[in-house]
Amino acid sequence: MDTGITVLICTYNGAERLPKTIEYLAQQKVEAGFDWEVILVDNASTDFTAEIAKAEWAKHQRTAVKFNVFIENEPGKINALYLGFSKAKYEFSVICDDDNWLDPHYIQNVFNILNSNSSIGAVGGQSIATSDSGKLPYWFQQYEEGYAVGRQGEISGDVTDRGHLWGAGMGTRTTLYIEMYQNVPSLLIGRSGNKLTAGEDSEYCLRLILKGYRLYFDSKLTFIHYMPNERLTDQYRIRLFKGLSESNDTLEKYHLAIRTMIKYNKNAFSRFRLLLATRLRILFSHSLNQKEMDTLTLISDNTRDSDSVASKIKAFISS
């Protein structure tokens, strides 16, 4: 792929949010000769998102930077991301949500970080929330992580143990993203229309970890995360965290896979002991709990249920 960065915006009915996001993108400051592009994927919008986005970009006269729009009619953020990454021209990509106002040096900093260390699979930064009124609810700070607000690390450096980065503002390697889903599709679809399902960004990070890549936080990567008033109600907060919790069972199986692989790969004896202990548990028990069944699926040569989440994660590990 060509040297440079693709900025991916996946949006559903983002016509009102996009003008400010595009304004901040148009103000990006990059080194001389640095190449980048913007790809906007309209995920089945009904509010003329694509037309408005094109018109807004044209206002800023960044003619050297291509602004391409694609339509993904299958609802689900992961489907929009698949399309966006498949169309990307450059080796690195930044996921910019339609309410992310990136710092002027954001994409140059992402490029420098990823270009400096090939073991970094994904990098994230920190955000500050803003709203129409300039005020946030009294409860917001307690829940800000769920809104992709705050810091993703105490200091710049490796945050692999954290287990995830927000999709908002995430920088990654374009071909790596495609490879992570080439053989085993995502088990989570992310936002779909007005549904607040989530977790596709965490799943991607966990797949990176399973393949030996690192997650990184850098405090230089800053952005403003715009919160329209309707997202700051008690009702929205409850829906948001319900959507986050619905992905927990699947994500926990990824975490189990990581813990299991750490034990499994220590040495041949540890591998044998883990497999033997699990099989003995079967002999002396009438039934296994779900965690034990998932562990057996991950370490055994035989898969008991090829349609289970654990078996699909195992297939991903083996791919």
Separation CA 287–CA 128 (nearest Å): 49
State whether residue 117 is helix, strand or coil.
coil
What confidence tens digit (pLDDT) does each residue in 67-106 have?
999 999 999 899 999 999 999 999 999 999 999 999 999 9
The pair of three-digit structure tokens given for residue 107, joined into one six-digit string: 């994409």
pLDDT score of 305? 54
100 by Cβ neighbours in 10 Å (0-12 / 13-18 / 19+) ranks as buried
Residue 291 pLDDT grade (very low, low, confident, very high; cuts 50, 70, 90): low
Average pLDDT value for residue range 143-170: 97
pLDDT score of 262? 74
Say what the pTM is.
0.88
Separation CA 91–CA 115 (nearest Å): 10
Which of 205, 201, 308, 190 lies closest to 258, judged by CA? 205
On whether the 2-243 domain is CATH 3.10.129.10, my answer is: no
pLDDT score of 272? 47
Domain boundaries of the chain, sorted by first residue: 2-243, 255-318
Going along 151-309, which residue ranges are E strands? 157-158, 171-173, 214-227
Q: What is the mean pLDDT of the chain?
A: 89
Average pLDDT value for residue range 52-60: 97
Whether 279 shows a pLDDT value over 90: the answer reads no
Q: Which position has the higher pLDDT, 5 or 302? A: 5
Average pLDDT value for residue range 203-210: 97
Cα four-point dihedral sign 194, 196, 197, 200: positive
| Helix (H), strand (E) at residue 204 | helix 200-210
What confidence tens digit (pLDDT) does each residue in 100-140 have?
999 999 999 999 999 999 999 999 999 999 999 999 999 99
Whether 192 shows a pLDDT value over 70: the answer reads no
